[in-house]
Structure 1
Amino acid sequence: MKQVLIIGIGAGDPEQITVQAVNALNRADVLFVMDKGPAKAKLAAYRKEICRRYIRHDRFRVVEAESPERDVAATDYDAAVGDLNRRKQDVFERLIVEEIPEGGCGAFLTWGDPSLYDSTIRNVEAVARKGHRFEYEVIPGISSIQMLAARHRTTLNRIGQSVAVTTGRRLAEGWPADSDSVVVMLDAGDSYKRFAEQDVDIVWGAYLGTPDEILVAGKIRDVAPEIERKRAAARRANGWIMDCYLMRRRKTD
């Protein structure tokens, strides 16, 4: 039977790969790299460097496939995401059916950890539900959230307190209830700025674990202009941005 591995490869630094992930890479006959266009060529290069460093045999193939993009102009976000995942599932199905030999092993290399704001697990499950016979396994990875906390030498939560992980789109609706700290991903609209007049600290990071890494920390009202400026400049320079941040309300005595 065919086997499919979903391997978390960390936020970008090849040294973030776990021993389990290295062993999984060495089981694969074919490695799938989802190409997101010339602007994100560095991402594909990081994946290839990981393969070069850690795969101990030369029997594997690398198959690149174009990754569909979400219609950012669509007004119905949920419908747009549903359409995106259906198109991704078509790509995954073709790769699994056509590129993995019977009895062979294929691997999808996913950024960070596959369980966090990534559709690979759901899309592989959807392909399996169509009746294709294969087994699949998930190998966790170091997430950008873990990298953010490590780079800023902080924790995600205060002692005994909760932390919420959400998106910029959800944060724009308000601070998550009953959460002392908030980690935000996928924020295209700088939603943190709505809290600039409150006593809130932020630690922000972009391209974590890569040579392009950028870090900013401080009270939101003080550092928001710097984050906005550096974020815009980095997007212009690279054509894309991957960032996340942690916000925490200051304690009052």
Structure 2
Amino acid sequence: MTELWLIGIGTGNPEHVTLQARRALREAALVLVPRKGPDKSDLADLRHMILAACDSTAPVVEFDMPVRDDSLPYATRVSRWHDEIALIWSKALERANPQGPVALLVWGDPGLYDSTLRIAARLDPRPVLRVIPGITALQALTSAHAIPFNTVNGAVTVTTGRRLRDHGFPDGADTIVVMLDGECSFRSLNPEGLHIWWGAYLGMDNQILASGPLAETAPRIVTMRAEARASHGWIMDTYLLRRGPVDG
């Protein structure tokens, strides 16, 4: 039975990789690395850089990620995409026939907001899973802006851009965090009393940040995001919205 290690590697900075993750990468018998097309080739390059920084000598098997079918309803689209990725993993493992643990490098933390665990559950036979936590975009964002994650005795809601557009600012929360929101859904909110802290490429050399009252900062973020995506071909960004005083 294959042993599959899902290793959190933070947000792209090799210095964010924990000692536990470094040790696992040195002990793995094989590493799977996804390719997401030429526009995102530097994501695979970052994984290789992290492997080198961690002194990993395991052979690497790269695989091409499938493309989601945007014509399908969202839930169906994601489910079928996960099925396709699981099949690709299975074929890659069958060809490689590893004689030891197989590692997958996962952005952030595998258990928090990545789909890797859901994909691994589709493998047949099911592998023995080991999850190694990593620094998340949530931590990288609040650290970059030097702000607390929550207010005193305040609730935090982690949500999606889709839900923010459909349902607005969640009731009962004074702080929300949204990740990978390609639609800049904060524009759908009444900005009165809201402050935003936004960041892209968190932890990387090309990290960019913006913060301020939502009404003033939203247009600047939209422009910065579009320019960065056009320049790099991809973008990973996160933002935190908070009601009331900005000092928490």
Into which bin does the TM-score normalised by the smaller protein fall?
Answer: over 0.9
Task: Return the alpha-carbon distance in structure 2 between the equivalents of residues 161 and 138 of structure 1.
Answer: 30
- CA contact 2:157–2:177 (8 Å) conserved in 1: yes
1:20-35 alignment runs, 5 A limit? 20-35=20-35
The answer to whether the Cα contact below 8 Å between 2:9 and 2:16 also exists between their aligned partners in 1 is yes
Change (3 A) 1:219 1:100: farther
1:194 CA drift (Å)? 2.0
Greater CA drift, 226-235 or 103-112: 103-112
Counterpart among 174, 185, 191 of residue 191 in structure 1? 185
Structure 2 residue 141 is matched with structure 1 residue 131: no
Distance 1:156 1:83 in 2: 34
What's the secondary structure of 1:118's corresponding residue? coil
C-alpha distance after superposition, 1:182-229 (max 9, x if no partner): 000121111111225321000000011111110000001111111011
The DSSP-based 3-state class of the residue aligned with 2:158 is strand
Which amino acid letter does the alignment assign opposite residue 220 of structure 2?
E
Structure 1 75/175 Cα, relative in aligned 2: closer, same or farther at 3 Å? farther
SS at 2:27 equivalent: coil
Pick from 78, 83, 86: which aligns with 2:80?
A: 83
Map of 1:68 onto structure 2: 66
- Alignment of 1:105 onto 2:105: no
Q: Which runs of 5+ in 1 are unaligned?
A: none
Query: Residue 214 and residue 131 in structure 1: after superposition, are their counterparts in 2 closer, same or farther (change >3 A)?
Result: same
Q: What residue identity is the alignment partner of 2:151?
A: R
Following TM superposition, the consecutive aligned residue runs of length 4 or more in structure 1 with deviations greater than 3 angstroms are none
**SS in structure 2 of the partner of residue 117 of structure 1:** coil
**Is the 1:8–1:113 contact (alpha carbons within 8 Å) kept by the matching residues of 2?**
yes
The corresponding residue for 2:116 is 120
AA aligned opposite 1:39: D
Distance 1:116 1:67 in 2: 21
Q: Distance in 2 between matches of 1:202 and 1:237?
A: 24
Quick one: distance in 2 between partners of 1:94 and 1:176? 42
Please, what TM-score do these two structures have when normalized by structure 1? 0.92
Shift of 1:236: 0.8
| Counterpart contact for 1:195–1:220, Cα < 8 Å | no
Q: Distance in 1 between the 2:66 and 2:171 partners?
A: 34
Instruction: Please give the alpha-carbon distance, in whole angstroms, between the structure 2 residues aligned to 1:136 and 1:98.
Output: 20
1:249 paired to 2:243: yes
C-alpha offsets along residues 131-156 of structure 1, whole Å, 9 cap, x if unaligned?
35x42200011011110000000111
How far apart, CA to CA, are the structure 2 residues paired with 1:87 and 1:180?
Answer: 39
CA distance in 1, matches of 2:149, 2:101: 36
> 2:66 and 2:103 mapped to 1: Cα distance?
19
The number of equivalent residue pairs is 245
Decide which moves more: 108-117 or 241-250.
108-117
CA shift in 2, pair 1:196/1:236, >3 Å:
farther
- The one-letter code matched in structure 1 to 2:223 is R
Paired AA for residue 64 in structure 2: E
Tell me if structure 1 keeps the 8 A contact 2:169–2:189.
Answer: no
Alpha-carbon contact 1:147-1:208 (below 8 Å) kept: yes
Select the residue among 158, 162, 166 that pairs with 2:151: 158
**TM-score, with length taken from structure 2:** 0.94
Of all paired residues, the percent bearing the same amino acid is: 40
The root-mean-square deviation of aligned C-alpha atoms, in Å, is 1.6
